[in-house]
Structure 1
Amino acid sequence: RIYYSQVFFDFVLNLNGMSDLPSVHVEDAPEGSEKSKKDDVDIYQLLRTPADINQEKEYAWLQQVRTMQVLERVMSSVRAVGRQLFLGNKMDSRFGVEQEEAKTLRLELIDGKHVNDKMKAVVSLLADNVIQFEITFKHSKSPGGFYRGVAQPQVQWKLAQLQEFGNYIGRASFLLAECNDRAKVIFANKKWDKAAGALIHQSLVEARNALVAANLAVQIPRKRGLKELYNFVPTKKFNPPLPGDKAVSVYMSGPRVFCAVYTVPLDKSAKDQTIQSVLIEAIVPGMPQILARLTSSLRTLQEFLNELEALKSRIP
């Protein structure tokens, strides 16, 4: 039933030139009409089957029991990584990672396959900064048949992959801390329902993506062209200068730091324009354990996300 006020009814009559018609008394809406609308039963509640109810209970149980366990485990691993790499300035303050001064790390790079003993290097790292780089390799045009040079650039020389790794770990720490705070509120209110599950799922997906990006940052080195290597300012700071036919690159792949020395023909008219390279490497102390922690955290997150998605898909 639709109810109109007398004033509104008279207004409509005036608009249509019908004001001379006899007035009609319109009944006021009963007070209980609004209440009756609120008492309407949700059709979804009527259609729920016992199986649906059980699925919802299982979904709520999974969130309630596993969410805090997963967060505690992953956050513990990320916290350990942050402390080991002195990332206190990048980590979310809720992780409680102190901002400590990084210690200088001296890496001696050699040929891992012991094929080339004519080349070696020492890279000194302070956090993600290369503060000194010493290199020796065979070179016929250098005094004694070997080039020996040291670069101690005044400009900032970042080991870009390690820097990106730290940035992504810092991002993941913020996302995990936010998710943890939300989970605590949901836990306190006992609101482990479908909406809560979607919120937790989305938060954990974002944290997982940040950890995946951190892992990829150190696993896959960025390709750099020879022109970029030649023009890289820090490598122009070697004393004595690098030979004109040489270019040097330092990068990470997994837990190892690599140094590559490229030999490029200076004579552009020569038939043989083959670029030769020699690699030496060193394992960064503690990095295998860090990557193992990261892999374990990603596995834990992905398993929990799969469980949430599987149950959610079965709830109408």
Structure 2
Amino acid sequence: MGDSDRGELAVLQQELDWVLSEEVPRVFTQVMQVLKECCTHFPVPLCGNDTAIKHEKFIMSTAAHSTQDQVKCVVTVTGDTISQADINMKVAKHQNQVHRTSVTPEAPWRIQQIQDAGNFLQLSIQFLQGHGANNSFRTSSEVLNVLGQLIKLLQKGRSSLLIPRKKTIDELMSSRNMKSLTPPLPGDLAVSFYLQAHKLVLAVYHLSNAAGTMKFESVQAECAVPWLSPVLVCLTTALHLAHQLRDKISVFSQFKDFTPDSCSVSTISFEP
């Protein structure tokens, strides 16, 4: 290895030392601030915040250009549950009969996605605290390992709100929520509440048996939920910061003959 190569490697080592001693603690502190702000937007107390549980009332309806199937719902969301809902459905195959049913405060409908997202958010904060305030990093591989685990937690929290878990018709029909509707719906109708991005969605499924095969058609009513947008922005920002830092550290390993962890680097620590 020539002198110029050694000089280049020395410069790379200095740059990596700077990233580990300056950039890593700065970005981790930023991520922590974003995650704590995210907690303040949730409709339930999180991360030790004494936030009052939110009570929000929404009117859900099908799109104006929808078919003759119509769904309307006035829903009250309390924290992570639908505490009350009045649902009106007009399904064309039921000879234009209007079906009415309710979610009552005695049997609320739990929105598991809110609880899941909140749990992953708190796990992200606890993980960052446990691997930051009381730990120091000596190598780039240690930082990349922490970032990898943090990114997985953040992705799971974000996906909980963006992508509802698909349920089979059997799961819907036999769910505790369906059985607690008052009055009960006819056996060929099922309903489901779920979050998708910034919206709360009510899906109504009409089941039919065609030549022994169970099929279903669905129609949806929806409404925007104000707190979802800032929560998703916070989670997306935290992920972006973590990805950027991971990419910045990973780029050093692309240089020929430079193995970042072969040399000792500055020890760093940070306060969340």
Q: Output the TM-score relative to the length of structure 1.
A: 0.71
Deviation of the 1:245 alpha carbon = 1.7
Deviation of the 1:157 alpha carbon = 3.2
Letter in 2 for 1:224: K
Q: Does 1:289 align with 2:233?
A: no
Q: Does 1:126 align with 2:67?
A: no
Residue 150 of structure 2 is matched in structure 1 by: 207
Residue 101 of structure 1 is matched in structure 2 by: 52
Assess if the C-alpha contact under 8 Å between 2:107 and 2:180 holds in 1.
no
Letter in 1 for 2:169: L
> Relative to 1, partners in 2 of residues 1:143 and 1:52: Cα closer, same or farther, differing over 3 Å?
closer
> Relative to 1, partners in 2 of residues 1:271 and 1:60: Cα closer, same or farther, differing over 3 Å?
closer
CA distance in 2 between counterparts of 1:275 and 1:233 reads: 21
Moved more, 141-150 or 153-162: 141-150
Larger Rg: 1
> Relative to 1, partners in 2 of residues 1:142 and 1:115: Cα closer, same or farther, differing over 3 Å?
closer
Q: Does 1:259 align with 2:202?
A: yes
Deviation of the 1:77 alpha carbon = 1.4
Residue 267 of structure 2 is matched in structure 1 by: none
Residue 233 of structure 1 is matched in structure 2 by: 176
Q: Output the TM-score relative to the length of structure 2.
A: 0.82
What percentage of residue pairs aligned between the two structures are identical? 22
CA distance in 2 between counterparts of 1:260 and 1:242 reads: 14
Assess if the C-alpha contact under 8 Å between 1:151 and 1:238 holds in 2.
yes
Q: Does 1:54 align with 2:11?
A: yes
> Relative to 1, partners in 2 of residues 1:212 and 1:141: Cα closer, same or farther, differing over 3 Å?
closer
Deviation of the 1:310 alpha carbon = 1.1
Structure 2: state its 5+ residue gaps: 260-272
Matches within 5 A, 1:303-314: 303-314=244-255
Deviation of the 1:118 alpha carbon = 2.9
Letter in 2 for 1:52: L
Deviation of the 1:211 alpha carbon = 0.5
CA distance in 2 between counterparts of 1:261 and 1:231 reads: 15
Matches within 5 A, 1:17-28: none
Matches within 5 A, 1:1-316: 49-86=6-43, 88-89=45-46, 91=47, 97-115=48-66, 118-139=70-91, 145-152=97-104, 154-155=106-107, 157-182=109-134, 186=136, 195-265=138-208, 268=209, 274-314=215-255, 315-316=258-259
> Relative to 1, partners in 2 of residues 1:49 and 1:135: Cα closer, same or farther, differing over 3 Å?
same
Assess if the C-alpha contact under 8 Å between 2:38 and 2:230 holds in 1.
no
1:36-95 Cα offsets, whole Å, 9 max, x none, are: xxxxxxxxxxxx922222211110111222112212221111111111105544x3xxxx
Moved more, 206-215 or 237-246: 237-246
> Relative to 1, partners in 2 of residues 1:50 and 1:212: Cα closer, same or farther, differing over 3 Å?
same
Assess if the C-alpha contact under 8 Å between 1:136 and 1:147 holds in 2.
yes
Assess if the C-alpha contact under 8 Å between 1:153 and 1:237 holds in 2.
no
CA distance in 2 between counterparts of 1:303 and 1:164 reads: 26
Assess if the C-alpha contact under 8 Å between 2:60 and 2:75 holds in 1.
yes
Which has the larger strand fraction? 2
Letter in 1 for 2:202: C
> Relative to 1, partners in 2 of residues 1:154 and 1:170: Cα closer, same or farther, differing over 3 Å?
same
Deviation of the 1:120 alpha carbon = 0.8
Cα RMSD (Å) of the superposition? 2.7
> Relative to 1, partners in 2 of residues 1:312 and 1:87: Cα closer, same or farther, differing over 3 Å?
farther
Q: Could you say what secondary structure the match of 1:57 adopts? A: helix
CA distance in 2 between counterparts of 1:196 and 1:79 reads: 27
> Relative to 1, partners in 2 of residues 1:174 and 1:224: Cα closer, same or farther, differing over 3 Å?
same
Assess if the C-alpha contact under 8 Å between 1:153 and 1:234 holds in 2.
no
CA distance in 1 between counterparts of 2:25 and 2:45 reads: 24
Letter in 2 for 1:303: Q
